[in-house]
Amino acid sequence: MVCFSGHVCVCVCVCVSSVLQAWLWCVSLWPCWLSHAVPLDCKDETGSLIQCTSISQEKLLDRVIQHAELIYRVSEESCTLFEQMFVPYPLHALRNQGGTMCHTKPFPIPGSKSEIQQISDKWLLHSVLMLVQSWMEPLIYLQTTLNRYDDAPDTLLNKTKWVSDKLLSLEQGVVVLIRKMLDEGILTPSIFEHTLTPYDEPSPEIPESVLRDYNLLICFKKDAHKMETFLKLLKCRQSNKLSCLSY
Amino acid sequence: MAYSLSLGLLYLGLLCGNGLVSARSELFTPDPSRGPHFTGCRSREQETFRCWWSAGIFQNLTEPGALRVFYQTKNALLSEWQECPDYTHTVKNECYFNKTFTHIWTSYCIQLRSVRENITYDETCFTVENIVHPDPPIGLNWTLLNVSRSGLHFDILVRWAPPPSADVQMGWMSLVYQVQYRVRNASHWEMLDLESGTQQSIYGLHTDKEYEVRVRCKMSAFDNFGEFSDSILVHVAQIPSKESTFPTMLVLIFGVIGLVILLVLLIFSQQQRLMVIFLPPIPAPKIKGIDPELLKNGKLDQLNSLLSSQDMYKPDFYHEDPWVEFIQLDLDDPPEKNESSDTQHRLGLSRSGSSHVLNFKSDDDSGRASCYDPEIPNPEDLASLLPGHSGRGDNHPLVSRSISSIPDLGVQQTSEVEETPIQTQPAVPSWVNMDFYAQVSDFTPAGGVVLSPGQLNSSPEKKKEEENEKKIQFQLVSDGAYTSENTARQLSTEVPPSPGPEQGYQTFPTQAVEGNLWNGEYLVSTSDSQIPYLLPEAPPAPILPPVSDYTVVQEVDAQHSLLLNPPSLQPAICPHSPNKHLPAMPTMPMGYLTPDLLGNLTP
């Protein structure tokens, strides 16, 4: 149960099968998605609005994919850094589990390859956008928490800062892509409610905040992987439709 | 609440079950000491995965079906445990999850249960992408990039293709590769950096060595490498080094030959100089600066200039009283001296009475510029000339000269000159009216000098003269063709004094010594009869009317030539000697006579 849209608040209860879910979501969220988005502003040195230099769709997609790849790699590095610094060894295995406590998304994203291959372009893009937008706030939160650590390495702080910035530009790119590929506008900022449930401290040695932050990093890494995968699939489809379709 | 519960359970599972770590590292190694447990789960292409287990020590559970695998996908919504979708028939204790059941980004938990006893022996949780071990790349081959100049090293480019099972094109898997190589049968593999493309260059391999190259891959941002590909052999035979060294040898040879040629040319061109350097000529005895040829054949004026530039006489020889002996007073010819002009004025001499004409040539500097060396009068004599003087040391015996010289200096010198004689002989009034020049006609046995007309025994002077003469003689004897009048005079003591022919005056430029006393010129007369040592067969001098051998320098003209009294038979020979030929020289005792000059003078 998530209420996420800023202007049109639609609360939808989602359940059952993935396809039905997706379809329902598409239908239900349509009004939100139709709302007008703030276009990208191109400003020159004086500050007046000028025409943005145009870029081909293919190039834009490449750039977006590069962004996603970088974000994914940096998220993995941040997770490793945090793990080495603050997480005791036995709990490293938590990583293997991919973060069981990741915050829920408005709609579940299919995990099997076959299912993903059946997702439409539109859906791919929108899920990417949704993912990006869902992580903006938690990353800012993560930055503040990391600053409170006594001996957080500078690289870790820099990486999280960097990721936040890149996420913004990724969002912008995806918005433009959506506009170009799908001919629709989107509302750029969207509000996702994140329920960061407090954890019961499993052990006195490990503070809850550490676990929470670790979990956050793991979840973010997973979602970054999702973004990258979707975008690459999209690219594959753009260049060569046949080989990317499920067999 | 649900989250905390699951977390707690998870943690418990971690603490109790060791299988979690094993999901990553310990694969395919069943631990016999344990009970039934999972030995590992793997996925090759992120689309399917398999899990294996072992019964462990519980041998009674080895029969199939005794142990069963249940899994649960941990999504947001908790689902119930489901049994393994496919127990592989061919492989024992393997559970295979096909595409339908494989979901990435979801965590699985599997349990090993014995249904009969309803005991869960083992549990492990993972996500599929964390257990992916990609297949090895295929199509590994190499191409030679280049061989180094020396032929000892070479570079290759290794290429491969991603494993066919991995769907790289779709972006389902992003692979990175690692190339390793080693010398064949060595123990240590060289590892190169991760490469996201499908080719890599290897640099710096040695020729004549066989290398093995292999490659493996893993998913980017994950840690599990796949298996290595098959090794390929790389070998490049060493190119025979003849070709490479041949040009070097040629270049070396040609370089050496060129150098030798250059050296020979150099030697031949600079032969003379080299001869001088390596075989310096033995110096013939000669006087520095004087060309022996010139002495034989040169002109008089050149000789004069040469001689004036010579530094042959020690300055300290005549340091004390350099011009003592050169002062000759001629007291009998007062009227002849009246024509001296400005020098007299400078001296403050009265034209009328004074018959002493001291015409000195004095330079304000130490260089000599005139051809005649008038004899500088004794400071005592000067004192006699100039009444009312104060005595001083004989520092500057000179008197000023005319014309171009600094009048002040002349006056100064005049004053100095004035001062000097007073000390020595404050009262020589009797000489005021005497000429400066007088001829020595005879020597007394006591060592006195007998001067012709108006003689006065000046023994100390004579003694000094004699001493100096002796000194000069010793020095001059060694000087070859040169002699001085002093020597000549001395030598001619045996010769009956005869005035001899009126010879001209040979004036030779003297050198002014810095800070020395001598700064004047002096006249020297030559006489044939007085140089028997040079001309042993000198004819006896004919008896002539008693004309004084000396004449007085009347004036000095602009060219620094001395104008002598006309009555002398011999014209004044005044070679012009340019100033510049006269550097500072030590004083010369007397004039010089060369055989040529003597020849000229001999009538």
Among the ranges B3-7, B251-255, B347-351, which has the highest mean pLDDT value?
B251-255
Q: Give the distance, in angstroms, between the CA of residue B565 and the centroid of all CA atoms in the same chain.
A: 64
Q: What is the pLDDT of residue B398?
A: 42
Nearest to A93 among B21, B170, B222 (CB): B21
Which of B131, B153, B173 is at the close of a domain? B131
Among the ranges A65-74, B32-41, B334-343, B526-535, which has the highest mean pLDDT value?
A65-74
pLDDT over 70 at A53, yes or no: yes
pLDDT over 50 at B583, yes or no: no
d(CA B514, CA A76): 98
Q: What is the pLDDT of residue B187?
A: 92
d(CA B491, CA B147): 100
Amino acid making up residue B265: L
CB contact under 8 A, A112 and B20: no
In this predicted structure, which of A56-60, A225-229, B547-551 has the lowest mean pLDDT? B547-551
Nearest CA in chain A to B46: A113
Q: Which domain holds residue B95?
A: 37-131
Q: What is the pLDDT of residue B65?
A: 74
Q: What is the pLDDT of residue B177?
A: 95
In the predicted model, what is the mean pLDDT of residues B327-331?
63
Nearest to B169 among A73, A99, A236 (CB): A236
CB contact under 8 A, B172 and A90: no
Q: What is the pLDDT of residue B232?
A: 93
pLDDT over 60 at B560, yes or no: yes
A113/chain B closest Cα distance in angstroms: 7
CB contact under 8 A, B100 and A94: no
In this predicted structure, which of A33-37, B146-150, B443-447 has the lowest mean pLDDT? A33-37
Domain assignment present for residue B189? The answer is yes
| Contact (CB, 8 A) for B488 and B527 | yes
Taking one residue from A and the other from B, the number of pairs with CB-CB distance under 8 angstroms is 121
Contacting residues of B for A240, CB less than 8 Å apart? 169
Amino acid making up residue A229: T
Nearest CA in chain B to A222: B105
Domain assignment present for residue B115? The answer is yes
pLDDT over 60 at B367, yes or no: no
Domain assignment present for residue B143? The answer is yes
Q: Which residue has the higher pLDDT, A128 or B323?
A: A128
Nearest to B107 among A91, A97, A197 (CB): A97
pLDDT over 80 at A72, yes or no: yes
Q: What is the pLDDT of residue B195?
A: 92
Strand partners, B61: none
Same domain, B181 and B159: yes
B104/chain A closest Cα distance in angstroms: 5
Contacting residues of A for B220, CB less than 8 Å apart? 72-73
Same domain, B152 and B105: no
Same domain, B146 and B211: yes
Among residues B241, B244, B187, B238, the alpha carbon closest in space to that of B209 is found at: B238
Among residues A224, A216, A239, the alpha carbon closest in space to that of A69 is found at: A224
Structure tokens at B545: 């009317």
In this predicted structure, which of A154-163, B320-329, B375-384 has the lowest mean pLDDT? B375-384
d(CA B532, CA B498): 13
Q: Would you place residue B96 in the very low, low, confident or very high pLDDT band (cuts 50, 70, 90)?
A: very high
CB contact under 8 A, A114 and B99: yes
Q: Would you place residue A25 in the very low, low, confident or very high pLDDT band (cuts 50, 70, 90)?
A: low
SS3 B533: coil
Contacts of A181 by beta carbon, 8 Å cutoff, 6+ apart: A57, A121, A125
Which of B178, B206, B235 is at the close of a domain? B235
Q: Which residue has the higher pLDDT, B584 or B133?
A: B133
Contacting residues of A for B11, CB less than 8 Å apart? 202-203
B235/chain A closest Cα distance in angstroms: 37
Contacts of B553 by beta carbon, 8 Å cutoff, 6+ apart: B359, B361, B372, B374, B523, B562, B563, B564
Contact of A163 with chain B, judged by CB distance below 8 Å, is answered with no
In the predicted model, what is the mean pLDDT of residues B4-15?
50
Contacts of A14 by beta carbon, 8 Å cutoff, 6+ apart: A21, A24, A25, A106, A107, A108
Same domain, B116 and B160: no
ipTM computed for the complex:
0.73
Same domain, B156 and B111: no
CB contact under 8 A, A97 and B24: no
Q: Which residue has the higher pLDDT, B334 or A132?
A: A132
d(CA A30, CA A55): 28
d(CA A199, CA A220): 18
The H or E element containing residue A220 is helix A208-239
Domain assignment present for residue B321? The answer is no
Nearest to A98 among B105, B167, B171 (CB): B105
Q: What is the pLDDT of residue B521?
A: 43
Q: What is the pLDDT of residue A2?
A: 46
* DSSP strands (E only) in A16-153: none
Among residues A229, A122, A231, the alpha carbon closest in space to that of A179 is found at: A122
Give which of B105, B130, B220, B222 to mutate to test A binding, by max A Cβ within 10 Å: B105
pTM score over 0.80? no
Q: Which residue has the higher pLDDT, B361 or A26?
A: A26
Nearest to B74 among A100, A221, A233 (CB): A100
Which of B91, B110, B131 is at the close of a domain? B131
Among residues B138, B113, B110, the alpha carbon closest in space to that of B51 is found at: B110
Q: What is the mean pLDDT of chain B?
A: 67
Q: Would you place residue B334 in the very low, low, confident or very high pLDDT band (cuts 50, 70, 90)?
A: low
Give which of A70, A95, A112 to mutate to test B binding, by max B Cβ within 10 Å: A112
Contact residues, chain B to chain A, C-beta under 8 Å:
1, 3-4, 6-8, 10-11, 14-15, 20-21, 23-24, 46-47, 74-76, 99-100, 102-107, 125-127, 129-131, 167, 169-172, 174, 220-222
Nearest to A229 among B74, B172, B222 (CB): B172
Among residues B419, B429, B411, the alpha carbon closest in space to that of B391 is found at: B419
Among residues B48, B199, B54, the alpha carbon closest in space to that of B135 is found at: B48
Contacting residues of B for A75, CB less than 8 Å apart? 221
Among the ranges A94-103, B3-12, B410-419, B420-429, which has the highest mean pLDDT value?
A94-103
What percent of chain B has a predicted confidence (pLDDT) above 70?
45
Q: What is the pLDDT of residue B408?
A: 44
pLDDT over 50 at B42, yes or no: yes
CB contact under 8 A, A228 and B174: yes
In the predicted model, what is the mean pLDDT of residues B217-236?
91
In the predicted model, what is the mean pLDDT of residues B3-31?
49
Give which of A196, A205, A229 to mutate to test B binding, by max B Cβ within 10 Å: A229
Same domain, B168 and B227: yes
Domain assignment present for residue B209? The answer is yes
B154/chain A closest Cα distance in angstroms: 35
Q: What is the pLDDT of residue A231?
A: 92
Among residues B141, B145, B142, the alpha carbon closest in space to that of B203 is found at: B145
In the predicted model, what is the mean pLDDT of residues A6-11?
48
What is the number of domains present in chain B?
2
CB contact under 8 A, B99 and A94: no
CB contact under 8 A, A100 and B103: no
| Contact (CB, 8 A) for B329 and B431 | yes
CATH of the domain at B218: 2.60.40.10
Q: What is the pLDDT of residue A23?
A: 64
Domain assignment present for residue B181? The answer is yes
Domain assignment present for residue B390? The answer is no
In the predicted model, what is the mean pLDDT of residues A91-117?
75
Q: What is the pLDDT of residue B77?
A: 64
In this predicted structure, which of A18-27, A53-62, B166-175, B576-585 has the lowest mean pLDDT? B576-585
Same domain, B79 and B102: yes
Q: What is the pLDDT of residue B179?
A: 95
Same domain, B117 and B142: no
The domains found in chain A, sorted by start residue, are 57-100+110-194+225-239 (1.20.1250.10)
Give which of A79, A80, A89, A97 to mutate to test B binding, by max B Cβ within 10 Å: A97
A81/chain B closest Cα distance in angstroms: 13
CB contact under 8 A, A243 and B46: no
- Give pLDDT tens digits for B121-180: 888 888 888 899 999 999 999 999 989 888 889 999 999 999 999 988 888 899 999 999
Q: What is the pLDDT of residue A20?
A: 63
- Give pLDDT tens digits for B179-202: 999 998 899 999 999 999 999 999
Domain assignment present for residue B385? The answer is no
A67/chain B closest Cα distance in angstroms: 15
Contact of A199 with chain B, judged by CB distance below 8 Å, is answered with yes
